[in-house]
Structure 1
Amino acid sequence: MNARENYLEAIRFGSPHWVPLGCEPLWHTLQFEGIFRCGDWTDAWGVRWEVGIEGTVPFPRGNPLADLARLREYGFPDPDEPVFTGRMVEELAGVDRAEKLVIGSLTYLLFERAWAVMGMERFLTALVTHPEAVHEFLRGIADYARRVFDRYLALGVDGVSFSEDLGTQRALMVSPAMFREFLLPEYAHCFQNVLAAGKIVHFHSCGCVDAARTR
């Protein structure tokens, strides 16, 4: 059983020969540029990220959409930027697909992307005070993610992966009702084509997320 077969056996709840282990410090994935970097920088969404403690991931220090009233003025990044595809095709050419899985990475997906762009407190408040605008904002983010995933599918990836921390130590950061209203439909939108193609959706979330389960 090679590494690819072993990983697939593990995620299908079979009998892998060893426990697959990810080594995040290597960041050896297809990385959609403009989305994540371990350093001080401003991403494609206009968010300023800074590393406060050496060896940790950066934290958002600037929120380009502090007011949802300016949503129509906010410029979402272009998921069709052509340079990414060219670089990824070159990387894929050197991968033995019989031995290795190829997973397309997006890092922050929906909830994490929304609060990074708006600010955590402002985003959570807007769920109550401006629900229609939040729906529109989240659909814009989901449209972006869906298009990125479509591009990965066109490259022939085995699946997609991203970060979407939803929980604290005890519960979701939003109520289960809000999760179902605001986030769940957008996840379905994001993953529709990936799942239809029979590919892997590697959904990473830290925290206690039991209440997010729908069945």
Structure 2
Amino acid sequence: MTGRELVTKAVLFQGPERVPYTLPEEFGSDMIGTGVGPDPAWKPSFLPTDTKWEDEWHCVWERLSGDISKGQVTGHPLKSYDDFDSFQWPNFKIPERYKNMKEAVKNNLQDKFVIASIDFSLMHRLEYLRGHENAWTDPYLESENLCKLLDKLATLANDQVDMVAEAGVHGIVSADDLGFQDRPMVSPEIFHKFFAPFYKKVYQHAREKGLLCFLHSCGYIIDLLDDLIDAGLQVIQMDQQENMGLENLGRRFGGRICFWCPVDIQKTMNYGSIEDVKNYAKKLIDTLGCFNGGFIAKWYPAPDAVGHTKEKIKAMCETFISYGSTFYKKSKS
């Protein structure tokens, strides 16, 4: 099977020949990543520096000198909903944004799964635009305006869905960290009422276009997965599992959603031995991939930021490949 076939069958529980994976270059990958490019005509309102800059949403970002992180938003352009109607939203219908994406599809001679990153996050973007305090009080104080904003974000995401589908990619992915370490960022009730309907608006539209739907989300999000699955999400990219319980995830959601995971980046990859890493990699496949699919192996692509050693990365990748190569053959025998 090609990479595209392996990933698709894993996501749809249709029996891939082996566990698909996205690993460092020396180990290989069944996917090609691409994304929506910047607006070539957009100009920031001030000259950017290494420590302060503006994005296309007019959010101002800052970080300390020498900081390698993405920084944080310090300028929130939609603090007042009075500015909503006059707000200058990004234009995602510009063909130039998708030029590199079309090239990636054209050059995909090995028939790998092409996944396109789109600018779609409800919780992050709400915070960036409105500010932290406003974001968390909007469900109670500005519920009508909140729904209006979330609907606009979903509409802009669907503009991208239309364009990436036309480009010929196979799936979409976006990032929205929905959890703290031990609980969701919002209550399941608030998530169900305000956020889930707009995830559904995007995921249903994408699936109608023939795209598979992926979401990266960190933290304790197990209490939100039912709503995300009902909304149409097909793959959850989850770098942590141990804070929610791997067996718990498999028992409640195995066979209902595909998991795209590395060995837990905060616990086993940091504090476990080489043997622990190998055993956990096997356990991921055993627990989440035993549904005629349902698991895609990956690595964490910023290992220095989280203290992962080369030895543990090698052990994880080799185990994913060797154990995953025969996993479905064994299950059929």
TM-based fold match above 0.5: yes
Higher radius of gyration, 1 or 2: 2
Equivalent residue of 1:152, what SS? helix
Which position in structure 1 is the counterpart of 2:108? Answer: 95
Correspondent of 1:84 among 97, 104, 124: 97
Q: How far 1:15 moved relative to its partner?
A: 5.3
Change (3 A) 1:32 1:50: farther
Which position in structure 2 is the counterpart of 1:20? Answer: 21
Q: How many residues align?
A: 207
Q: How far 1:68 moved relative to its partner?
A: 1.9
Q: How far 1:7 moved relative to its partner?
A: 2.9
Equivalent residue of 1:29, what SS? strand
Residue 33 in structure 1 maps to residue 37 in structure 2: yes
Equivalent residue of 1:92, what SS? helix
Distance 2:38 2:75 in 1: 16
**TM-score normalised over the length of structure 1:** 0.84
5+ long unaligned stretches in structure 2: 25-31, 40-49, 231-333
Most deviating of 193-202 and 163-172: 193-202
* Superposition CA RMSD, Å: 2.4
Distance 1:94 1:17 in 2: 24
5+ long unaligned stretches in structure 1: none
Equivalent residue of 1:190, what SS? helix
Residue 206 in structure 1 maps to residue 218 in structure 2: yes
Quick one: percent identity of the two aligned structures? Answer: 26
Distance 1:110 1:155 in 2: 24
| Contact kept? 1:30, 1:105, Cα under 8 Å | yes
Distance 2:78 2:99 in 1: 31
| Contact kept? 2:116, 2:171, Cα under 8 Å | yes
Residue identity matched to 1:3: G
Residue 115 in structure 1 maps to residue 94 in structure 2: no
| Contact kept? 2:119, 2:157, Cα under 8 Å | no
Which position in structure 1 is the counterpart of 2:187? Answer: 175
**TM-score normalised over the length of structure 2:** 0.56
| Contact kept? 2:105, 2:169, Cα under 8 Å | no
| Contact kept? 2:120, 2:154, Cα under 8 Å | no
Residue identity matched to 2:149: F
Which position in structure 2 is the counterpart of 1:134? Answer: 146
Residue 67 in structure 1 maps to residue 80 in structure 2: yes
Which position in structure 1 is the counterpart of 2:3? Answer: 3
Q: How far 1:195 moved relative to its partner?
A: 1.1
